[in-house]
Amino acid sequence: MWKRIASALSGIRTVLLLSYFIIILLSIALVGSLSFYISYRSTSEKVETAGLQIVRQIENNMDNDFRAKRNLLLAPYYSQEYIDSINLYKTMGPQEKFLFRQRLTDLFLKSFNTTPVPGFVRFKVYYTTGELLSASDSSPSDTPLQVQRSEWFYNTVARDGQVYFFNGASGGRMPDKEDSYSVSILIRDFANPVDFIVVRADYNAKLFESIGQNADLTANSQFVVLDDGHRQVYSSDNERTHHVGESLLMRMNGQNGRFWANVDGEEQLVSYTESVYSKWKIVLLLPKGDIIGPLKGIKTATLYTAIFAFGLTFLMSILFGRSITKPILHLYKTVNNIKRGDFSIRADIKRSDEIGRIAANFNSMMDELQELIENKYVYQIKLQEAQLAALHSQINPHFLYNTLDSIKAMADYHGAEEIGEMAHSLADMFRYHTKSSDEIVTLQEELAQIDAYLRIQRIRFEEKIDYQLRVEEGLYNFPLLKMTLQPLVENAVFHGIEQKRGRGTIRLSAYREDRSVTIEVADDGVGISERKLEEIREKLRQPLYQGELKEAPSGGSIGIRNVYARYAILYGDRFEFSIDSRKGAGTTIRIRLEEKSES
């Protein structure tokens, strides 16, 4: 009974089902106990990071707007006429002063009205003495002495050309209710530090209201803008302006940062940053309740989700377990059939997942195994066929008949010396063919065979063939397969030089390249057409166990394939063969043999 239970529990389907059950149970328990904690920590970190990003974005938007507003105040610098008038203002007559003030008014009205500036309220231009030179409206203004003594005027002059941003309530009388902040700058001739004008522009809170609407703040959050004196310029909730008190300001002593603080009995996240351009601070207050509020439903949602996930996963584990084990059992049966000797059977699994890829690789492996088993015998047979074909090609009937005809013709028409030379060369060739059954010879022995062969062909073709030999020193003893060069040279004679008008050249070269030796047989004969050359190359690309290797009486590409087949069988990857030709430009055949390493 125990063995049956153990056998049943050891099945893949049962193991998967129990594994899913245990994993799901542990996962649900883990998720239920840690989800709230992890969610709270993650949300807090994200909110803290987001809070700092929000105040930085507000700072960036505010600084961009402030730079644009500064540029509006610089309008007099665009014309030297205004700078000259500032220098001469004290010496002008009443009429000239009136015209200068009128030009200033027109200049700034045009500057502020050409491109409407959000939140713009008014501008005013004051002379060195505090005298009001120009204004965009008729609102009351302080006396020249009050202007000179005001904090904003003093700070603007002290900055000597640098823009000054300040709370509308800083210095002088209280601004109108619609005023929120002001921008001022001193304009003068750089060579005249005494005479100058101060341009001031007042703005309402539309800029900050627009920034707050685009900042994606929560309902209870608040952002506050403080000037460089820590005076409040703007608050998104005017009823809670007292939140930024001394205790918070003392903790905001860096360029930017964030911290948790108790504000009015409620814990809030305070994020702040200080503008490098205006020295103003942007402070964001985010209540903790807004952060953890959405997490309160996580417990309930986690519980219901866990129950649903448990039931669904339990059902899916049964279905998935069956879909996984069924193809595995099929693979198991296939392997058993192959074990009994049936190598033709293949796994029939049409899937794109890992099991399908395993089945595809298994079928591919079986194809390669079957091909290797068959080719082991096929290659042995083809090797014997290649060797026999090489023996058959040693005495080509076409070559033998032509040679004998030439000998007979020479006996009738020529002297005995040439007949003797041809007969001697032919005898050397026959001795080379039959002297030994060794398959491996040296390059020097092959070259001697080529010399004998070409002596006969030169007599036949009456010196039509020119033979050039270039062999690198040390390669004469390089091992080659017997009858490597003769079929290639014969191919060059009959298919290249014989059909060419006039004299032709055969070049035979042997040289080293890195750790390999290259042998070239080239001719400048009639060449091969592209179609015929592609047919020859296609035959060389065919597997060796396809087609016959026997030499036909006409020679040609079959002799080339015979040489290629013997080297491919015996040398494998250490052998490369190429044939290049162009119609009317000759043919070049290269054999590249990699030398064996001495290790």
Q: Name the DSSP class of 497.
A: I
Residue, of 573 and 199, whose pLDDT is higher: 199
DSSP code of 597? P
- Mean pLDDT along residues 81-98: 91
DSSP state of 117: P
Q: What is the CATH number of domain 378-594?
A: 3.30.565.10
Domain boundaries, the chain: 74-206, 378-594
Question: pLDDT, tens digit, for every residue of 177-191?
Answer: 567 889 999 999 988
Of 58-72, 122-136, 321-335, 469-483, least confident by mean pLDDT is: 321-335
Segment 237-266 shows an average pLDDT of 75
Res 351 pLDDT > 90: no
In the predicted model, what is the mean pLDDT of residues 27-55?
75
pLDDT tens digit sequence for 483-520? 889 899 998 988 888 888 888 999 999 999 888 999 99
- Of 316, 319, 299, 326, nearest to 23 by C-alpha is 316
Mean pLDDT of 345-353: 71
Distance from C-alpha of 67 to C-alpha of 186, rounded to nearest angstrom: 15
Among the ranges given (130-139, 319-328, 459-468), the one the predictor scored with the smallest mean pLDDT:
319-328
| Residues in CB range of 362: below 8 A, 6 or more apart | 331, 334, 347
* Position with higher pLDDT, 475 vs 291: 475
The pTM of the whole model exceeds 0.95: no
Q: Which residue has the higher pLDDT, 546 or 291?
A: 291
Residue 544 has pLDDT above 70, yes or no: no
Q: Which pLDDT value is given to residue 552?
A: 42
Q: Which residues contact 435 (CB under 8 A, 6 or more apart)?
A: none
- Residue pair 580/588 in contact (Cβ under 8 Å)? The answer is yes
Give pLDDT, residue 100.
92
Strand order in the sheet with 181-188: 132-135, 120-127, 196-203, 181-188, 164-167
Locate 245 and state its tokens: 């008190």
CA 109 – CA 200 distance, rounded (Å): 13
The answer to whether residue 23 scores a pLDDT higher than 80 is no
User: What mean pLDDT comes out for the span 471-485?
Assistant: 90
Write 72-80 long-range contacts (CB < 8 A, 24+).
72/108, 72/111, 72/112, 72/117, 72/201, 73/163, 73/183, 73/184, 73/185, 73/187, 73/199, 73/201, 74/185, 74/187, 75/107, 75/108, 75/111, 76/104, 76/107, 76/187, 76/197, 76/199, 77/187
Helix or strand (DSSP H, E) at 480:
strand 479-481
Three-class SS state of 505: strand
164 φ, ψ to 5°? -125, 125
Mean pLDDT of 378-397: 56
Look up the CATH number of domain 74-206: 3.30.450.20
- Highest average pLDDT, of 50-54, 76-80, 169-173, 351-355, comes from 76-80
Strand partners, 202: 122, 182
d(CA 321, CA 15): 9
Confidence of residue 375 (pLDDT cuts 50, 70, 90): low
pLDDT at 329 over 60: yes
Looking at the predicted structure, is the pLDDT value of residue 411 above 90? no
Mean per-residue pLDDT for 118-133? 90
pLDDT of residue 558: 58
Please write down the HEC assignment for all residues of 119-167.
CEEEEEEEECCCCEEEECCCCCCCCHHHHHHCHHHHHHHHHCCCCEEEE
Q: Give per-residue pLDDT as tens, 262-277.
A: 777 778 888 889 888 8
For residues 506 and 448, the answer to whether their CB atoms sit within 8 Å is no
Give 412 or 193, the one with higher predicted confidence. Answer: 193
Say if residues 459 and 429 touch (Cβ distance below 8 Å): no
Do 74-206 and 378-594 come out as alike in CATH topology?
no
- Give the model's pLDDT for residue 188: 92
Triad 437, 440, 441: Cα angle to 5°: 95
pLDDT at position 95 is 93
Q: pLDDT at position 554, please? A: 41
- What is the percent of the chain where pLDDT is above 90? 20
> What confidence category does residue 2 fall into, taking pLDDT thresholds of 50, 70 and 90?
confident
The position carrying tokens 């360029």 is 255
Between the ranges 357-361, 513-517, 553-557, where is the mean pLDDT highest? Answer: 513-517
Q: Which pLDDT score is estimated for 128?
A: 94
Q: How far apart are CA 561 and CA 550, in angstroms?
A: 9
The 8-class DSSP code of residue 282 comes to: E
Q: What is the mean pLDDT of residues 104-124?
A: 86
Q: What is the mean pLDDT of the chain?
A: 78
Give the CA radius of gyration of the chain: 51
The pairs formed by 542-549 with CB atoms below 8 angstroms and a separation of 24 or more are: 544/379, 544/382, 544/568, 544/569, 545/374, 545/375, 545/378, 545/379, 545/382, 548/385, 549/382, 549/385, 549/386, 549/389
